[in-house]
């Protein structure tokens, strides 16, 4: 089984490169959700409920705002992936239309969204670790992450690869032949070289990476248990002294300066050292911030300075995206090692801080329903987008009508899938839901 396909490079970006490994699915960069910039990027978070657990100390429970941030992030992801149909960045399918006006906006979202999701996933993992012992925790993460990953690679992702093979490489056989001979069998090549590695995980790379970060972390907590009090004291001291504001941006600066060019993002797991450094660091950041009230307080105090920094660094990059003057792009390129990390982290600080103030702080049926729906939505949404775009491509619709229909179809099919899956006990694990039927309802509060 081969991992992600060949990286197709996009144009250089000031706020994250959009070139993506199309076999990845992107990266919520995708992007990567991201660094930052693969096209299929975006992940489900840790798939766990971040809301309150009365068995935990006050500082370690009730982060409904983070649940809402994750829900909003994946709502944005649908629009982002639809947007990839209309910009010149590599993607699994393309519309006959282009919408240049949305490209600068996508550049601004691209650099930080995946980092935010890994941070939230780290928080969710910590909340789960506080409720489960090591053995059940390992089993939970393995079942809730690996089963959907394998199911997705075998069932959900193949239509994306087929559409890409037909649309970009002129593949002429039918979908069943493609699945048996090219996708699984390996007896038929789509093109010379490695233009499309099969099978692949596409947008489900996020699930794999999340699992890859979670397992060593759980093992480390067991091995380091004897020094846990010392470690907690050190973490508290760092939180109280603002280290959780400074260290995250330093990690991004060092990674960009040292690793970005030698190990560009590939979402293939192996050799993806830049991504592992930044995503792994933000996953750990979220994990260790749980219970550190001082860290969240410092972030809250920095919300307005973060807005100023984010707007300032974005203003540097915007002209090079909206109005690509060579002289401005050259100046920006000389400073992107610092400007992009500052933009990424300051935006995340602002989003978290204002989210904590403005998003609902009390639980309710909408939050519970949508929190469980996020992972099934994530699993199926990109396949729906790619197939819908392929079907609508030659119907002669305007760009606006086509895009609106793709969004509508995606939302309807995602909701329908979730409604079916949450009621079918045997289907639930395939979409990352608990095996027992525990389906949220709008009628319950």
Contact call for residues 148 and 379 (beta carbons, < 8 A): yes
**pLDDT computed for residue 14 by the predictor:** 38
> pLDDT over 70 for what percent of the chain?
80
- Tens-place pLDDT, residues 1-46: 444 443 333 333 334 444 433 433 333 333 333 333 334 656 665 5
**pLDDT computed for residue 133 by the predictor:** 93
Contact call for residues 384 and 410 (beta carbons, < 8 A): yes
- Tens-place pLDDT, residues 135-191: 999 999 999 999 999 999 999 999 999 999 999 999 999 999 999 999 998 778 888
56 or 353: whose pLDDT is higher?
353
Contact call for residues 78 and 385 (beta carbons, < 8 A): yes
Contacts of 441 (CB under 8 A, 6+ apart): 365, 369
C-alpha atoms less than 13 angstroms from C-alpha of 155 in its C-beta half-sphere: 11
Q: Minimal CA–CA distance to 144: which of 132, 161, 130, 159?
A: 132
**pLDDT computed for residue 37 by the predictor:** 35
Q: What is the mean pLDDT of residues 250-260?
A: 96
pLDDT higher than threshold 90 for residue 347: yes
**pLDDT computed for residue 95 by the predictor:** 97
**pLDDT computed for residue 195 by the predictor:** 81
Q: What is the mean pLDDT of residues 194-221?
A: 94
Q: What is the mean pLDDT of residues 217-241?
A: 87
**pLDDT computed for residue 13 by the predictor:** 34
pLDDT higher than threshold 70 for residue 443: no
pLDDT higher than threshold 60 for residue 237: yes
**pLDDT computed for residue 3 by the predictor:** 46
Q: Look up residue 71 and give its two tokens.
A: 């829900």
- Tens-place pLDDT, residues 383-424: 999 999 999 999 999 999 999 999 999 999 999 999 999 999
User: Using 50, 70 and 90 to split pLDDT, how confident is the model at 233?
Assistant: confident
Distance in angstroms (rounded) separating the CA atoms of residues 112 and 37 = 9
Q: 3-state secondary structure string, the chain?
A: CCCCCCEECCCCCCCCCCCEECCCCCCCCCECECCCCCCCCCCCCCCCCCCCCCCCCHHHCCCHHHHHHHHHHHHHHHHHHHHHHHCCCCCCCCCCCCCHHHHHHHHHHCCCHHHHHHHHHHHHHHHHHHHCCHHHHHHHHHHHHHHHHHHHHHHHCHHHHHHHHHHHHCCCCCHHHHHHHHHHCCCCCCCCCCCCCCCCCHHHHHHHHHHHHHHHHHHHHHHCHHHHHHHHHHHHHHHHCCHHHHHHHHHHHHHHHHCCCCCCCCCCCCCCHHHHHHHHHHHHHHHHHCCCHHHHHHHHHCHHHHHHHHHHHHHHHHHHHHCCCHHHHHHHHHHHHHHHHHHHHHHHHHHHHHHHHHCCCCCCHHHHHHHHHHHHHHHHHHHHHHHHHHHHCCCCCCHHHHHHHHHHHHHHHHHHHHHHHCCCCCCHHHHCCCCCCCCCCCCCC
pLDDT higher than threshold 80 for residue 59: no
Domain ranges of the chain: 7-157+199-420
**pLDDT computed for residue 445 by the predictor:** 36
Mean pLDDT of the chain: 85
């Amino acid at each position: 089984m081969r991992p992600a396909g060949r990286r197709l490079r996009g144009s250089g970006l000031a706020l994250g490169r959009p070139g993506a490994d199309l076999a990845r699915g992107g990266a919520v960069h995708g992007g990567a959700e991201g660094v930052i910039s693969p096209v299929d990027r975006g992940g489900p978070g840790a798939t766990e409920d971040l809301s309150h657990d009365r068995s935990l100390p006050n500082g370690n429970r009730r982060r409904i705002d983070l649940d809402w941030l994750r829900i909003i992030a994946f709502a944005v992801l649908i629009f982002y992936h639809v947007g990839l149909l209309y910009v010149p960045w590599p993607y699994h399918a393309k519309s006959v239309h282009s919408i240049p006006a949305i490209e600068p906006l996508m550049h601004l979202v691209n650099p930080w969204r995946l980092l935010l999701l890994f941070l939230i996933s780290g928080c969710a993992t910590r909340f789960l670790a506080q409720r489960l012992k090591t053995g059940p925790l390992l089993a939970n993460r393995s079942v809730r992450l690996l089963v959907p990953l394998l199911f997705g690679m075998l069932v959900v992702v193949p239509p994306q690869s087929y559409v890409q093979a037909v649309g970009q490489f002129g593949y002429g056989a039918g979908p069943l032949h493609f699945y048996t001979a090219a996708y699984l069998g390996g007896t038929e090549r789509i093109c010379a070289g490695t233009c499309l590695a099969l099978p692949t995980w596409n947008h489900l790379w996020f699930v794999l990476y999340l699992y890859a970060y979670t397992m060593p972390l759980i093992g480390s907590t067991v091995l380091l248990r004897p020094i846990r009090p010392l470690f907690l004291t050190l973490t508290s001291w760092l939180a109280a002294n603002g280290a959780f504001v400074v260290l995250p941006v330093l990690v991004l600066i060092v990674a960009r300066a040292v690793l970005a060019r030698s190990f560009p993002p590939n979402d293939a797991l192996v050799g993806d050292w830049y991504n592992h450094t930044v995503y792994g660091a933000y996953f750990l950041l979220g994990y260790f911030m749980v219970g550190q009230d001082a860290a969240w307080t410092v972030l809250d105090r920095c919300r307005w300075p973060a807005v100023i920094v984010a707007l300032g660094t974005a203003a540097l990059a915007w002209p090079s995206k909206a109005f690509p003057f060579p002289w401005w792009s050259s100046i920006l390129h000389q400073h992107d090692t610092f400007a992009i990390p500052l933009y990424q982290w300051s935006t995340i600080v602002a989003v978290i801080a204002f989210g904590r103030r403005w998003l609902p702080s009390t639980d309710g049926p909408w939050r519970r329903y949508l929190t469980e729906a996020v992972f099934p939505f994530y699993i199926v949404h990109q396949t729906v987008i790619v197939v819908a775009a392929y079907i609508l491509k030659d119907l002669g619709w305007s760009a606006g009508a086509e895009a609106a229909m793709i969004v509508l179809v995606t939302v309807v099919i995602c909701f329908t899938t979730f409604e079916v899956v949450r009621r079918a006990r045997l289907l639930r694990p395939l979409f990352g839901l608990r095996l027992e039927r525990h389906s949220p309802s709008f009628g319950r509060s």
